[in-house]
Each structure stands twice: as structure tokens, then as C-alpha cells.
Amino acid sequence: MKIIADTKEDEGVLYHCTAGKDRTGVISAILLSLVGASQCDILADYQISYAYTIKLIRQLCKENPDFPAYIVEPRIEYMEKFLELFNEKYGSSEKYLLEIGLTDLEIEKLKKKLLIDEAVSIA
């Protein structure tokens, strides 16, 4: 999170994991929550990764019939449970980020990176 916060304003950050769902989904959920995304939107964002990985999952299962597809298939109930437990323990993404060592300034920098300035027009 500190790396994302400290990245220059005109640069991006790529984060990923092997299957692109759990670790990536958790980081995305925390960041989306930080800027006020609804749980419904966070769940939709998590679930959409399935649309982009289904061909890979099917190929993997075809080549490896004993492979448990659930390992790479994003299931909405996984993210729902994560959000429930996360909110019970930390209360909010901001409180979590403070607990893991980010400063108020770094949190504000993260928010600024994730939100579009309304004065900026996208062509």
C-alpha cells in the first residue's frame, strides 16, 4: 500500500497474484472500500475476474482433470466472508491501513490516486 501511495501522480501500479482473484481481490476490495465503493460494487468487481479467466480455467481443468477448479474460480461468497470478517476486525479500510503502518498522508495519497478529480474531463 505504501508503494501505491508513493508512486508518482502520473504513474500507475500493477499488482497481481497467481490466479488473479484472492490476494488481488483482497487488495482491490480494501482500496475500493477506502474510496467509498459499496459492498455490491466490490463484489461485482471481484466476480468479473471470472469472465476474464474462464477460458484459462477450462483449459487448465481439461489438461489436468484432477485439478480442483474452485482454487482459481472466484466465488462471491469468498469475498462476502472476507468483507464480513475484515469489517468486524478493523471497522474500515482506513483503520486497517493505519493499523498496518500507513500514515494519514499516505492514506490521503491513496484516495487521491483512486478518485477522479471532477474538474478533470476524460476525452
Q: Which residues are catalytic?
A: 17
Contact criterion met (CB below 8 Å) for 29 and 79:
yes
Contact criterion met (CB below 8 Å) for 105 and 2:
no
Which among 69, 36, 33 is positioned nearest to 50, based on CA atoms? 69
Alpha helices, DSSP H, located in 16-72: 22-34, 39-63
**Rg of the Cα trace of the chain?**
17
